[in-house]
A and B are shown apart, each in its own frame.
Chain A
Amino acid sequence: MDILYNILIDPFVQMGSAPDFFLQVLWSGFVAGTLYSLIALGFVLIFKASGVFNFAQGIMVVFAALTLVGLYQAGVPAWIALFLTIGAMFALAWLVERIVLRNLVNQEEIILFMATIGLNYFLIGFGEYVFGGEPKPMIAKELGLPTGSTTFEPFGGIVIIEHLDVAAVIMAIVLVSALAIFFNKTRIGRALRAVADDHQAALSVGISLNQIWVIVWFAAGIVALATGIMWGAKSDVSFALQIVALKALPVLIIGGFTSIPGAIIGGLVIGFGEKLFEIYWGALLGSGVEGWFAYVIALIFLLFRPQGLFGEKIIERI
């Protein structure tokens, strides 16, 4: 009986008895959710264009952030370092297309996936060789990102809103909106979907596969940079950051691998879900449930809706 009370009643009593804290949990879930969406977006872009899960997206986040910080530490002013990093991400996209993808046109998806695993390890080694393994502070202040916090006092309690979190949410919303418009309302966006469906068919109607891949990998690089700046500002820029990117996997399973709105909704479902579950139900399972909660939700989706909330249902005729 106690168990039922702890599962079904007590969490809601806690929410009601400390509404300020409940608001804080919701805000934390919202911030985490938007950041997860941002990470997932990088995966979605590349999956839409090539049908491949880009295993290297996590290390691209680290690589972009380290390039930015490394240039600044080498004496380049922050904003110039930012533009040079964007240039570096373009160069990376061009090189990936030129050296890796061009040779794999019309190959099995698993081969492209294996190529991204190779790219992942190359970027880890290259990044560690160039930047070293030490963590570096993100140049948040130098880039004009706000610091500090504002404390509200609703219901006689306190809710702390970090200005950096607000900036992260705004950046994520702007970036996601811009990319959604770009890929849904422009000619390139339509070309991208054509490439995703069939490489050879896209080529036959005059779509430049190489150009599309460079654009998409560059867009994924920009998303990686934005993600690296925000996550790096919250903690540090280190190679451990690539692990955070794994959180995108359940987000993608929930939202669908090909849907930008899906990445947003999936991110928010995971963000809100894991925070609420950890805080109000986590103690029943020994705490630390956040690490696996997202994967359990993803597993449930795989059982009942394997294409995710917004993913395209794959029907193959045999």
Chain B
Amino acid sequence: MKKLLMTGVAFATLAGTTFTAAPVAHAEDTMFVPSLSYRTGPFASGGTPLANGFADYFNMLNARDGGIGGVKIVVEECETGYNAQKGVECYESTKGKGALVYNPYSTGITLQLIPKAPVDKIPVLSMGYGLSAAAIGEKFPWTFTYPTSYWSQLSSILKYIDAEGGIKGKKIGFIYLDVGYGKEPIPLLEQLAKDQGFEIALFPVGVKEMQNQGSQWLNVRKERPDYMVMWGWGAMNATAVKEAAKIKYPLDKFIGNWWSGAHADLRSVGEDGKGYKSANFSGIGTSFPALQDVIKHVVDKGGSQVASKDLVGDVLYNRGLFNSVLIAEGIRAAQAKTGKKVITASDLRDGFEAFDLNEARLKELGLEGFTAPIKGSCKDHEGAGSVFIQQWNGKDWEKISDPIAPDTAVVRPLLEAAADQYLSDKPEWQTQTCG
């Protein structure tokens, strides 16, 4: 009996070793895209739908088209818990598997990976988040913020406010998660306040206070801002909208950024959140043919991790999906440019500068009207930068504006100055010259 047990243990050990040593993603006919996800921790409410949409689109391409250009995409998740240190650990443990691109879904992790990207020759796609200055492609060849940056988005939100009755002389309250992400647009806000003649009031919310914002909203009542703009995430968002309703702040004057306007944020608030607005750059719902294909080829076949089919089409699910669309387009552009089926991370970097996601292409992809067109380029790593405004009707989000282009004339020089500032103490930093 003991001998049998020992033999069993030996076989189990051997099997375990074999399993561990098996190549995960670097076979010739696959390409590897790591997914730095957070399905656990305080920000899991946002991380889970993002990770689901991200994986489901690639799985749909694999099932429907046999991958991209005949090469299947392998998505492997690594749990970061929205923690910068864990994010770096995930990066280090997966880069050797032939990672094509990193999507950190966290400004904190992005800031850690930006210096690593040119060294390891793996691009970072921080889709609409991260370091705004990375939009300057000449200074940040390995980082992309398509389809916009935090700074461009803020300028679009301020344009929206201006169009509602003029921003000059108004007081704009800015409530933000008091971490790198939340503080990122403040320099621009301060500059624009001077340039455009409005006043600002800042309301930081510590991570520990995300669900305990009584003081911040008492301060809002004291300061009486004409508009409130929010850079929130996770549990902060629902609490902020509830607190705003509690002090009877007019919710149609309260506008969140694109991380502050998900279904996960407002479902629990329900009717009390009616009127609250937020920016967005990806479509809502499942009416798009590409989404229908995801349901048909992945969700209905049990290949998705979504808890319920109803969650497909939610704001953050679609955003995760859109992230994969950008990568897929980059891969296609790289394949066309190099003539190779299996491309490298370096090829994908070039592909990101070459793709053209115009109206016709969006229609071909089954995503007509899903987002504003984006054209990759060497100089501009943020794309067109447009966002639209959506409003919560008590049960669902409704798109209420056309795409609002950023105030590029104002933002671009500031981004360039910020990029120069970032590089000022990095003499070895790799830049590129665009033709």
Q: How far is the CB of B5 from chain A (nearest CB, A)?
A: 26
Q: Note all chain A residues with C-beta closer than 8 A to B267.
A: 137
Say whether B218 contacts A234, CB under 8 Å: no
Q: Binary interface profile of B, 198-226, with partner A (CB < 8 Å = 1, else 0)?
A: 00001111111111101100110110000
Q: Is B40 an interface residue (CB 8 A)?
A: yes
Q: Which of A24, A125, A244, A279 contacts B208 (CB 8 A)?
A: A244
Does A10 lie at the interface of the complex (its beta carbon under 8 Å from any beta carbon of B)? Answer: no
With most chain A CB atoms within 10 A of its CB, the pick from B204, B207, B212, B270 is: B212
* Chain B residues within 8 Å of A231, by CB: 211
Closest residue of chain B to A276, judged by CB? B215
Q: Known interface pairs A134-B264, A244-B212. Does A287 touch B204 (Cβ–Cβ under 8 Å)? A: yes
Report the nearest A residue to B214, measured CB to CB: A28
Task: Report which of A132, A137, A243 forms a contact with B210, defined as CB distance below 8 A.
Answer: A243
Residues of chain B within 8 A (CB-CB) of A135 are 45, 235, 238, 264, 268
Q: Which residues of chain B are near A32, meaning CB under 8 Å?
A: 212, 214
User: Which residues of A (108-125) have their CB < 8 Å from a CB of B?
Assistant: 124-125
Residues of chain A lying within 8 A (CB to CB) of residue B78 = none
- Per-residue contact bits, chain A 37-53, to B (CB 8 Å; 1 contact, 0 not): 00000000000000000
Taking A240-B210, A287-B203, A288-B178 as contacts, is the C-beta distance between A24 and B238 under 8 angstroms?
no
A106 / chain B contacts, CB cutoff of 8 Å: none
B41 at the interface (CB under 8 A from A): yes
Whether A28 and B215, one on each chain, are in contact in the complex, defined by CB atoms closer than 8 angstroms, is yes
CA of A76 to CA of B218, assembled, Å: 38
Whether a CB of chain A sits under 8 angstroms from the CB of B86 is no
| A135 to B206 alpha-carbon distance, docked (Å) | 19
Give chain A nearest CB distance to B263 CB in angstroms: 10
Q: Which residue of A lies closest to B240 (CB)?
A: A235
Contacts of B248 in A (CB 8 A): 160
Given A134-B45, A238-B235, A240-B235: A21 in contact with B307 (beta carbons within 8 A): no
Q: Is B48 a contact partner of A134 (Cβ separation < 8 A)?
A: yes
Nearest to B207 among chain A residues (CB) is A243
How many whole Å from B241's CB to the nearest CB in chain A?
10
Which residues of B have CB within 8 Å of A137?
267-268, 270
| Cβ-based interface call for A133 (8 A) | yes
User: Taking the complex as formed, is A274 at the interface, i.e. its CB lies under 8 A from any CB of chain B?
Assistant: yes
Contact B218 A275 (CB under 8 A): yes
Contact status B208-A238, CB under 8 Å: no
B204 adjacent to A288 (CB under 8 Å): yes
B212: chain A residues at CB < 8 Å are 32, 235, 244, 247
- Indicate whether B403 reaches chain A with its CB closer than 8 angstroms: no
Query: Known interface pairs A247-B208, A282-B219, A290-B209. Does A238 touch B45 (Cβ–Cβ under 8 Å)?
Result: yes
Nearest-CB residue, chain B, relative to A275: B215
* Chain A contacts with B in 237-258, Cβ cutoff 8 A: 238-244, 246-247
Q: Is the CB of B221 within 8 A of A235?
A: no
Say whether A16 faces chain B, with CB atoms less than 8 Å apart.
Answer: no
Bound Cα distance A239, B40 (Å): 8
A18 to B235, CA, bound (A): 32
Interface: A97 (CB within 8 A): no
CB-based contact A279/B215 at 8 Å? yes
Does B247 touch A at the CB level, under 8 Å? yes
Q: A286 to nearest B CB, angstroms?
A: 8
Q: Compute how far the CA of A128 lies from the CA of B48 in the bound complex, rounded to whole angstroms.
A: 12
Q: Is B148 an interface residue when CB atoms closer than 8 A count as contact?
A: no
CB interface residues, A 45-96, toward B, < 8 Å: none
Contacts of A269 in B (CB 8 A): none
User: With A133-B44, A288-B178, A291-B206 given, is the CB distance from A235 to B239 under 8 Å?
Assistant: yes
Q: Are B47 and A236 in contact (CB under 8 A)?
A: no
A265 at interface (Cβ–Cβ under 8 A)? no
Q: Given A160-B247, A287-B203, A239 and B215 touching (CB < 8 A)?
A: no
A193 contacts across to B, CB distance below 8 A: none
**Chain A residues near B207 (CB, 8 Å)?**
243
Contact (Cβ within 8 A) B235 A288: no
A191 to chain B, nearest CB (A): 36
What B residues does A162 contact at CB under 8 A? 246
Which residue from B47, B48, B221 sits with its C-beta under 8 Å from A24? B221
Q: Which residues of A contact B204 (CB under 8 A)?
A: 286-288
Cα A275 to Cα B217 in complex, Å, equals 11
Chain A residues with CB under 8 A of B234 = 238, 240
- The minimal Cβ–Cβ distance linking B364 to chain A, given in whole angstroms, is 34
CA distance A125 to B79 in the complex (A): 13
Q: B242 within 8 Å of A by Cβ?
A: yes
1/0 contact string of B246-258 vs chain A (CB within 8 Å)? 1110000000000
Closest Cβ–Cβ distance, residue A247 to chain B (whole Å):
7
**Given A21-B222, A240-B235, A241-B211; A288-B247 close (CB under 8 Å):** no
Cα of A114 to Cα of B419 in the assembled complex, Å: 46
Q: Which residue of B lies closest to A289 (CB)?
A: B215
Which of A125, A279, A286, A291 meets B218, CB within 8 Å? A279
Give bound CA distance, A124 to B39, whole Å.
12
Contacts A133-B39, A288-B206 given; does A236 touch B238 at CB 8 Å: yes
**12 more CB-based (< 8 A) A-B contacts, given A235-B210, A235-B239:** A24-B221, A133-B41, A137-B267, A239-B44, A242-B42, A246-B208, A278-B218, A279-B218, A279-B222, A286-B204, A287-B203, A290-B209
Can you offer 26 A-B residue contacts whose CB atoms are under 8 A?
A21-B222, A24-B218, A31-B214, A32-B214, A124-B40, A125-B40, A128-B39, A132-B48, A133-B41, A135-B238, A136-B268, A137-B268, A160-B246, A160-B248, A235-B211, A239-B41, A240-B211, A243-B210, A243-B211, A247-B208, A275-B218, A282-B215, A288-B205, A290-B206, A291-B208, A291-B209
Write the residues of chain B forming the contact surface with A, with a CB cutoff of 8 angstroms: 39-45, 47-48, 178, 202-212, 214-215, 218-219, 221-222, 234-235, 238-239, 242, 246-248, 264, 267-268, 270, 307
A residues lining the B interface (CB < 8 Å): 18, 21, 24-25, 28, 31-32, 124-125, 128, 132-137, 149, 160, 162, 231, 234-236, 238-244, 246-247, 274-275, 278-279, 282, 286-288, 290-291
